[in-house]
Structure 1
Amino acid sequence: MVHDETKTAVSTATLPPPGICVTALQLRRKEQELSRQAAGELWTANDFVFTTRYGTPFEPRNFNRRFMDRTARAGIRRIRLHDTRHTCGSLLAPLDVHPRVAMQILRHSKIAVTMEVYTHVPSEATRRALRKLGKHLGKQDPK
């Protein structure tokens, strides 16, 4: 496994996480501290948030398996870990988050990737947009 630097400085920029994420990270810190105490001198110190019980980074396949296990226990639809990025993009769109802001949150270098690959607009939103367009067009003065 290789731990490398991010591709660009923009990828490294800090974003303020939503409160629910802060709470989850605080809980993770407490869990990790308990693991560190239990591991004792076997603990490997690093700055990773998600580690094994000995502080080492998860192998990607093991992390994916843990993600699948947790989604099953939570009783939610199974998706790949990477699909959570698509979920984020799709949740930002109906909240009227500007596409450039969504692009920064998802750390894309091209707006086309954000809009064409990661943003899935639900059909109800499409219907609302068309109704809104129809109302706007109906208000135009005939010339």
Structure 2
Amino acid sequence: MEHLRAVDDPLYAAYVLILVLGLRRGEVLGLVWDGVNLSEQQLWISHQLNRVGDRLLHRETTKTDDSTASLPLPGLCVTALRHRQRTQEDARKTAGEKWRASNLVFTTRNGTPVEPRNFNRAFTAHCRRAGVPVIRVHDTRHTCASLLAALDVHPRVSMRILRHSQISMTMDVYTRIPTPETRAALDWLNRSLDNPSES
């Protein structure tokens, strides 16, 4: 993340949102400024941007109420989005008449929507430059869930952050994360089985 901030990447805030809040690619690329309240530190995911065949579609989400509920914005996200507002305004001024006005948070230097495939390519390139394992953009949701689990965030809270429709989806991640208690229990079991007289 430091590298992205240092090079002033226009998609820095998008990367922050997918890692911290577990947003899907279509959700982050479809995010509209009307759904961002920086003073109240709230975010509403109401739109998605996806490529369907040869068309780029920006449409309202049709997911469950939980998936379109508001999310609190942590300070890191607020700072990144404020920076995005400034860089987008600078891009608008630079583009002049070529600017394509929209309400999208993430746009190209001319104001057009970010092509999802280009977002994937940029994400992959940044992973390589940072020397971290290359993962799919969608896998950042698992990364977010894993981090929440490692921080002992209650599964129901994680379910709300990730906007999973069922707790089983969230628990699937939680059951793969070894907690300190799990490790201690397995160490105790190991000692018991390895040397039964000690237990």
TM-score, normalised relative to structure 1: 0.80
1:61 aligns with 2:117: yes
Using a 3 Å threshold, how does the CA distance of structure 1 residues 100 and 43 change in structure 2: closer, same or farther? same
Using a 3 Å threshold, how does the CA distance of structure 1 residues 90 and 132 change in structure 2: closer, same or farther? same
Percent identity reads 58
Structure with more of its chain in strand, by fraction = 2
Q: Which residue of 2 aligns with 1:138?
A: none
Work out whether residues 44 and 54 of structure 1, in 8 Å CA contact, stay in contact via their aligned partners in 2.
yes
1:12 aligns with 2:48: no
TM-score, normalised relative to structure 2: 0.59
Amino acid at match of 1:46: S
> Any idea what SS the aligned residue of 1:46 has?
coil
The structural deviation recorded for 1:109 is 0.5
Using a 3 Å threshold, how does the CA distance of structure 1 residues 31 and 73 change in structure 2: closer, same or farther? farther
The structural deviation recorded for 1:77 is 2.4
1:44 aligns with 2:100: yes
- Aligned equivalents of 1:9, 1:16: Cα separation in 2: 16
Q: Which residue of 1 aligns with 2:78?
A: 22
Amino acid at match of 2:100: T
- Aligned equivalents of 1:22, 1:125: Cα separation in 2: 34
**TM-align CA RMSD:** 2.3
Using a 3 Å threshold, how does the CA distance of structure 1 residues 123 and 105 change in structure 2: closer, same or farther? closer
Using a 3 Å threshold, how does the CA distance of structure 1 residues 40 and 86 change in structure 2: closer, same or farther? same
Structure with more of its chain in helix, by fraction = 1
- Aligned equivalents of 1:70, 1:27: Cα separation in 2: 19
Task: Give unmatched runs, 5+ long, in structure 1.
Answer: 135-143
Q: Which residue of 1 aligns with 2:161?
A: 105
- Aligned equivalents of 1:71, 1:24: Cα separation in 2: 19
Q: Which residue of 2 aligns with 1:80?
A: 136
Work out whether residues 94 and 125 of structure 1, in 8 Å CA contact, stay in contact via their aligned partners in 2.
no
Query: Aligned residue pairs: how many?
Result: 132
Using a 3 Å threshold, how does the CA distance of structure 1 residues 44 and 89 change in structure 2: closer, same or farther? same
Amino acid at match of 1:17: L
The structural deviation recorded for 1:99 is 0.7
Using a 3 Å threshold, how does the CA distance of structure 1 residues 28 and 122 change in structure 2: closer, same or farther? farther
The structural deviation recorded for 1:24 is 1.6
| Per-residue Cα deviation, 1:34-66 (whole angstroms, up to 9, x for no partner) | 111111121112222211111111111011111
The 5 A counterparts of 1:124-135 are 126-128=182-184, 130=185
1:90 aligns with 2:146: yes
Q: Which residue of 2 aligns with 1:3?
A: 58
